Chain A
Amino acid sequence: MTTRVLYVLAIVFGLHLCCAAKTVEERFYEQLVLKPNHDGTVTSSFSFTTLIKDGRPRDPRTLGKEDESQHYTLFPLALGQILRDNAITELHLSLNAGKWDYLNWGYPEEDGVGTGAELWAWMAEGGPVTVDERWGNLRNALAGLFCASLGSLDEQRTTSPALTFQPEGDLPAFSSSHQLRHATLPSEHVCTENLTPFLKLLPCKSLSGIASLLNPHRLFDADWHGMGVHVRFLDHAGIEVRLSFQAVHNPVRYASDNRRDWSLRSLFDHTIEQSCPVASSSQIRVDLPRSTAAIITEPEPTARDDAVAVYDVRQLNGSLNVAMRWPDETSFEYPLGASSSPLAHMTVRRTLKGSDQYKGHLSVVITNHLMSELQTSYLETMPWLLQFYLHSLRVEHDGVSRDDLVSIVSYTPPVPHARPALLQTLLTLPPNSTLRLTMDVVKPFLRYTEHPPDAQRGWDLPPAVLMPLARDASAGGRVRRVYTPVLLVDLATPDFSMPYNVIIMSCTLIALIFGSVFNLLTRKFVAVSLRPPPPAQRVEHM
């Protein structure tokens, strides 16, 4: 009897093993990079990477047919379904708030730091559903998933700037070519309702591991914060989803004694109590500042060298609270002078000038900090709310007009009420100097119903994106994108009570005119005698 039972058990177990071997292999990595900046702030960059080994994006030509089944253990299913349903090869979504300070904070870990929402995706052509339809579905699906107004990233905001937004992964060799769709919504807010669904995509949610530090009350109090979702396909590895969260904290603002000492508890109001058991790697890297005498206190890092200290969260016993102190400093003094070595290759200032409600000037001032000439691309994806007079584009260097330093790669003019403008140019920045671009712009008139509810506030315009073509060794040989701050344009607004005024005024006039004409036409004018009737008649009447 027992042998039989054992035999049956063995068969069942064997079957189970067979099935298990067939399922996809998934990996989950998490990392937190903490970097103290010289202006007293601390940049924290969370990244949660899930990899489906040997996964491949869906070919859009199979969209009408039954899809292969999706059984994920670590990979976020809610996101996976959106990717499969719309046959997305590569996807990048970022939701940021604040203005990234390249000069003080250096380059971010994740490039996409433009204020508001930015979404771009690479999709293969072909199949029963067009790229634009899939782009629309993708926007709506992500809007539902992340509680953001991404549904309003419509044709009026969608462009295809393939020069700047090159795929970060590989494109699979389908028979059809790939297309890019890119849209921004600079007025989008980021708050807890965006972080909630973000955390639900993680295998350990915010319960354990590094993600337990993601406390909305502290993150949304940071000087800068932003979250991102990045999906890419790597030919040799598979499909990778990277969820990222970056924040720039200001410990000096919290400290009562004006010191810049920080710890995980002071930054996030949490410590790491336990590690995420499904993470293949889980580490905290702390960049050690070279110039100042900072020391890392409390737990001893797992590994360290001169530049970086690494904590392995998986080897955690007890709670982990990484802390950094500046023991020689009594209070932090903000560095007033220019920093000795700029942290970015270049700085960009973009302003919209002119108080006119019809015309204006767009001015872009780019300073090259390098001692060598720098080539950079310059991209404007401008909604038709601001229209360029491209012939008036002037480039000035040291007070001398140098139109030879700019070359226009492509320009798609805007169509009012329908399509944004797309301007892609290449700039040559002379060494250690400043280049000024100016261009006349015109502000269109909007239809009455096109104004937002708070029309007097103006419209947020998306950031320009520059891409220095010098390959950066610290970025692993890739090129970085640099975002300018957003602009606010004040368009002519009507008096919104005007329709009511018009209605009331015209109604009154019509009533007056009609009434008097009607009176004149229908009333009979007769002479009335005012003499009283004779007294006898009066008595009779009574």
Chain B
Amino acid sequence: MKRPAVWLLSFLFFALSCSSSLAQDVAQQDVVRGFFDAQGGAVSSHTNNWAVLVCASRYWFNYRHMANALGMYRTVKRLGIPDSNIILMLADDAACNSRNKFPGCVYANAGRQLDLYGDNIEVDYRGYEVTVENFLRVLTGRMDPSVPRSKRLLTDDKSNIFVYMTGHGGNEFLKFQDNEEISAFDIADAFEQMWQKKRYHEIFFMVDTCQANTMYTKFYSPNILATGSSELRENSYSYENDNDIGVAVIDSYTHHILNFMEGIDKTSQKSIQDLFDTYSYEKIQSHPGVRSDLFRRPLRQTLVTDFFGGVAQAEVLPSLPEVIQRSSDAADTANSVPGAHIIPPVSAYRANDTYTYQATPAKGVDVAVVFARSATPGQSRALITFRAWASIVLTGSLVTWASRTRVK
């Protein structure tokens, strides 16, 4: 009879420690939230990163455009965006082209030190599949149901998207495969559609082509930061040739960006403004432009890794009573709640509980969706504690019973 007593004692101890940790939970959340909000809300509240990299040029002599896109691919992959979150569109096969003296390799510098193609690459759209239609379908998500996930941009309203385009272009257009064009209006409308469908949180649009800055002049959707390589009526030039490859290997602007990116790692605190500050005509041989009037955060506090890295921010979810408190605050001030969604902790979900959806009208387009429970805060706290205790006692008694009956 002594042994069951020992069992019971140990369970009591276990249960006690459990209950104390339950109480600590809320305080812990506040600490974590305080830690992440330390920079005064300037930290991006995105939870996932995506990249759409487009090389719109066909033919071997456009090797440099393939290298541009692959250089960006290498960078975003190195900084942590997985292949599943990268849509890479290459209009031609430079690596296994019969004119390529180095099969399976694409180099972005004259010395051929760094192979961008590597051993591990996934090209989602290639060759004839790189069309204006497919690009707009990727952005807007209007696809045939049987299109596989790897070819889709499965973003949500917490996604930061980096869109990079390169090719031959002109005033407000970019050519796809020397065959068709995408206009600045098309991209602007696609982004607006994405915004309305809540397909992005922020977009960083970068384009390297002749007269590239005209490509972003038509944007009108919020949270888009755009940069381009050259002004209206200005060409964007290639950087260098490799004599063994026989063609230009990379464009000047992209070469400059990639050079900057080589100094960035996942934990880098360099801001987008730091990148823009390095722009100079002497280095790039054209006048790169920046458009930030649609972008809401200060560029000094926008990290490069917010778009290039897969460094996800932790979304600290407030506990239930707090949500209700906050929702009333939000209704008073008609301000948007920081973070687009506030969701109660998963542990509080129960099938038989009723939830009401309360949409608070917020400034801008942000809508905060708040879950409120029919039970009052005090009741729910007592209920949770009671459930915890009840389950502990039940488990303890079950184990005790099992050890007494099965083992003689």
A residues apposed to B, CB below 8 Å: 1, 3-4, 7, 97, 136-137, 140-141, 143-145, 147, 149, 151-152, 187-193, 196-197, 206, 215-217, 219-221, 452-454, 496
Of listed A7, A140, A206, residue having the most chain B CB within 10 A: A140
Name B101's closest neighbour in chain A (CB-CB): A221
* CB proximity of A144 to chain B, nearest CB, Å: 3
Collect the chain B residues with CB atoms within 8 Å of residue A191's CB.
93, 95-96, 104
- Give B240-254 interface residues, CB cut-off 8 Å to A: none
Collect the chain A residues with CB atoms within 8 Å of residue B126's CB.
147, 149, 189, 193
Do A453 and B407 touch (CB < 8 A)? Answer: no
Of listed A3, A7, A196, A197, residue having the most chain B CB within 10 A: A196
Collect the chain B residues with CB atoms within 8 Å of residue A190's CB.
96
Do B95 and A192 touch (CB < 8 A)? Answer: yes
Collect the chain A residues with CB atoms within 8 Å of residue B149's CB.
144
* CB proximity of A405 to chain B, nearest CB, Å: 38
A1→B6 CA distance, assembly (Å) = 11
A192-B118, A217-B105, A452-B128 as given contacts; A136 in contact with B93, CB under 8 Å: no
Do A189 and B127 touch (CB < 8 A)? Answer: yes
* CB proximity of B148 to chain A, nearest CB, Å: 3
Collect the chain B residues with CB atoms within 8 Å of residue A219's CB.
104
- Give B2-28 interface residues, CB cut-off 8 Å to A: 3
* CB proximity of B398 to chain A, nearest CB, Å: 14
A4-B407, A196-B122, A216-B104 as given contacts; A144 in contact with B151, CB under 8 Å: yes
Q: Which of B58, B123, B146, B406 contacts A193 (CB 8 A)?
A: B123
Query: Total A-B residue pairs with C-beta atoms closer than 8 Å?
Result: 94
Q: Which of B3, B103, B121, B124 contacts A220 (CB 8 A)?
A: B103
Could you show 30 A-B contacts with beta carbons less than 8 Å apart? A7-B407, A140-B144, A140-B146, A143-B151, A144-B124, A144-B150, A145-B148, A147-B123, A147-B124, A147-B126, A149-B126, A149-B127, A149-B129, A152-B128, A189-B96, A191-B93, A192-B96, A192-B117, A192-B118, A192-B121, A193-B121, A193-B122, A196-B120, A215-B119, A216-B104, A217-B103, A453-B91, A453-B176, A453-B177, A453-B180
B residues apposed to A, CB below 8 Å: 3, 58-59, 91, 93, 95-96, 102-105, 117-124, 126-129, 144, 146-151, 176-180, 403, 406-407
A192→B93 CA distance, assembly (Å) = 10
A107→B195 CA distance, assembly (Å) = 57
Other than the known A192-B117, A453-B180, what 13 A-B pairs have Cβ atoms closer than 8 Å?
Answer: A4-B403, A144-B150, A147-B150, A149-B126, A149-B127, A149-B129, A187-B127, A189-B96, A193-B121, A193-B122, A193-B126, A219-B104, A453-B128
Do A1 and B3 touch (CB < 8 A)? Answer: yes
Do B129 and A97 touch (CB < 8 A)? Answer: no
Do A196 and B121 touch (CB < 8 A)? Answer: yes
Do A147 and B403 touch (CB < 8 A)? Answer: no
A453→B168 CA distance, assembly (Å) = 14
Name A144's closest neighbour in chain B (CB-CB): B148
Do A141 and B148 touch (CB < 8 A)? Answer: yes
Name A98's closest neighbour in chain B (CB-CB): B98
Name B115's closest neighbour in chain A (CB-CB): A217
A206→B120 CA distance, assembly (Å) = 11
Collect the chain A residues with CB atoms within 8 Å of residue B123's CB.
147, 193
Name A454's closest neighbour in chain B (CB-CB): B58
Collect the chain B residues with CB atoms within 8 Å of residue A136's CB.
146
Of listed B93, B104, B123, residue having the most chain A CB within 10 A: B104
Name B150's closest neighbour in chain A (CB-CB): A144
A516→B212 CA distance, assembly (Å) = 40
Name B58's closest neighbour in chain A (CB-CB): A453
* CB proximity of B147 to chain A, nearest CB, Å: 6
Name A7's closest neighbour in chain B (CB-CB): B407
Collect the chain A residues with CB atoms within 8 Å of residue B406's CB.
7
A197-B122, A453-B179 as given contacts; A192 in contact with B104, CB under 8 Å: yes
Collect the chain A residues with CB atoms within 8 Å of residue B105's CB.
217
A140-B146, A191-B95 as given contacts; A221 in contact with B104, CB under 8 Å: yes
Do A97 and B96 touch (CB < 8 A)? Answer: yes
Collect the chain B residues with CB atoms within 8 Å of residue A4's CB.
403, 407
Collect the chain A residues with CB atoms within 8 Å of residue B176's CB.
453
A187→B92 CA distance, assembly (Å) = 12
A187→B58 CA distance, assembly (Å) = 15
Of listed B129, B146, B176, B178, residue having the most chain A CB within 10 A: B146
Collect the chain B residues with CB atoms within 8 Å of residue A140's CB.
144, 146-148
Q: Which of B119, B147, B151 contacts A196 (CB 8 A)?
A: B119
A196→B120 CA distance, assembly (Å) = 5
Do B96 and A137 touch (CB < 8 A)? Answer: no
